A and B are shown apart, each in its own frame.
Chain A
Amino acid sequence: MHEWSLADAVVRSLLGFMASEGLTSIREVEVTWGEILELDTEIFEEAFYELSRGTPLEGAKLVLRKEKAYFKCNSCGAEWDFKTADEILSREFEIMEEPAGVRESPLHFLPDLARTLLRCPKCGSRDFDLIGGKDLRVSKVVA
């Protein structure tokens, strides 16, 4: 459900960027999103095109690129992927998604909380790194 706020952030950022670069139109924009954010790409696209309408961004093609995440433990060297992470997430922490009223892990909103929300599946340490798969960024602009 944070697709709309994130799409809004991308659109506003791009509009500021166009203004500062003196661009009157953009042909294509590539947005890279980390898989931890669990974006619903259909909703994100709908929001992006809807929010660009009537702005200098209208007509720009959106290309979404999903980036994989992986975790690496600094204590024991274990590595795991997002699917595993999702399975071992602590159920202790929740955010309430409206309007459906579904309880979600904060990880999908704030991926950098990973060290709070899960532990290494092999040794239980919190000293692991989350590599990639957590950002939302504009990775390419084709004017």
Chain B
Amino acid sequence: MRAPDVLQDEALRRLSRAERLLMVASGKGGVGKSLISISLASTLSEMGRKVGLLDLDVHGPSIPQVFRSERLIRATKHGLEPLKIDGLELMSLGYIVRGSPVPLGGEDKMSLLKMMVALTNWSNLDYLVVDLPPGTGDEMLLAIRALKRHPRSGAVLVTLPSMLSLSVVRRALDLLRGEGVRVLGIVENMAYIRCGGDTVRPFGSLDYASLGVNVLGSLPLDPAVEEAIASGKPPHKASREVMEAISAVASRIEVMM
């Protein structure tokens, strides 16, 4: 008889409380996972859904950079309460450690992730969106365990249309498929730049057909995204083009889930 893993059980249970569980991953860093998970969460919320956003990036949490708050995380009888900002429920280690480094690896990191997720007290959400760090390590493994036991779950993979990015995404895709996780599709980020009347594709164009996944949408590389983040505005509304692209992705996800 093997004793139960109390914290992992509770972590997975709490992740499965949401009606739908949506993981945003890539394998690669700096491709826009955080931007896209944040934008999808905001868009789904504006579509009338109750949405939570979980930041599993313990080394480089990005969610607090966009949804800024000086408020302390509150602990109640039910655990750690997510912050409520702009109609979203948010949990990120960044709200606890602020800008300080979190040097951790291996078992300790897994144990931190389990404890954080096991304690977070989401309300009854329609969607829980999970923002993953780069890599296919502990964070993704924990998320995969949750997705596997959730009947309405799926993963979105973010990539640049570059060969190096795609080769990493392909590995993540292999991993997810091998584990039986439903991959809803990929989002191509920073695909093109509008410059005057021209459209430039800095990374060129890739054919995703060999991957056998849907392309849920393409986002431009738009300086308005950084400007929006710098001025504390929601990035999904950075420009009309970004907003429309994200809305299209969110609508496709709604239909698929």
* Chain B 229-241: CB-based contact to A (< 8 A → 1; otherwise 0): 0000000000000
Interface band, chain B: 35 or more
B76 in contact (CB, < 8 A): yes
Q: Is the interface of B mostly helix, strand, loop or mixed?
A: mixed
- Say yes or no: B76 contacts A9, CB within 8 Å: no
- Say yes or no: A139 contacts B3, CB within 8 Å: yes
Within 8 A of A (CB), among B114-165: 115-116, 118-119, 121
Interface band, chain A: 35 or more
Separation of A9 and B5 alpha carbons in the complex (Å): 10
Separation of A136 and B114 alpha carbons in the complex (Å): 11
- Say yes or no: A17 contacts B3, CB within 8 Å: yes
Provide the residues of chain B in CB contact with A113, threshold 8 Å. 93, 96-97, 102, 112
Q: Is the interface of A mostly helix, strand, loop or mixed?
A: mixed
* Chain A 116-143: CB-based contact to B (< 8 A → 1; otherwise 0): 1000000000110010001111111100
A78 in contact (CB, < 8 A): no
Q: Which residue of B lies closest to A1 (CB)?
A: B75
Given contacts A104-B75, A115-B103, contact A9 B10 (CB under 8 A): yes
The segment from B23-31, B77-85, B179-187, B200-208 that touches chain A is: B77-85
Separation of A4 and B80 alpha carbons in the complex (Å): 12
Provide the residues of chain A in CB contact with B79, threshold 8 Å. 2, 5
* Chain B 1-15: CB-based contact to A (< 8 A → 1; otherwise 0): 101111101100100
B104 in contact (CB, < 8 A): yes
Within 8 A of B (CB), among A8-37: 8-10, 12-14, 16-17, 21
CB proximity of B1 to chain A, nearest CB, Å:
6
- Say yes or no: A95 contacts B74, CB within 8 Å: yes
Given contacts A109-B75, A113-B96, A116-B102, contact A16 B3 (CB under 8 A): no
A94 in contact (CB, < 8 A): yes
Specify which of A4, A109, A137, A139 lies most central, judged by the most chain B CB atoms within 10 Å of its CB. A109
CB proximity of A36 to chain B, nearest CB, Å:
11
* Chain A 88-115: CB-based contact to B (< 8 A → 1; otherwise 0): 0000111111110001101001111101
- Say yes or no: B9 contacts A5, CB within 8 Å: no
Provide the residues of chain B in CB contact with A139, threshold 8 Å. 3
Separation of A8 and B75 alpha carbons in the complex (Å): 15
B68 in contact (CB, < 8 A): no
- Say yes or no: A13 contacts B109, CB within 8 Å: no
Provide the residues of chain B in CB contact with A13, threshold 8 Å. 4-6, 9-10
Q: List 12 A-B contacts (CB under 8 A).
A: A9-B9, A9-B10, A17-B3, A95-B96, A98-B76, A112-B108, A112-B112, A112-B115, A116-B103, A134-B111, A135-B111, A136-B7
Q: Which 3 A/B pairs are nearest by Cβ-Cβ distance? A: A9-B10, A112-B112, A5-B79
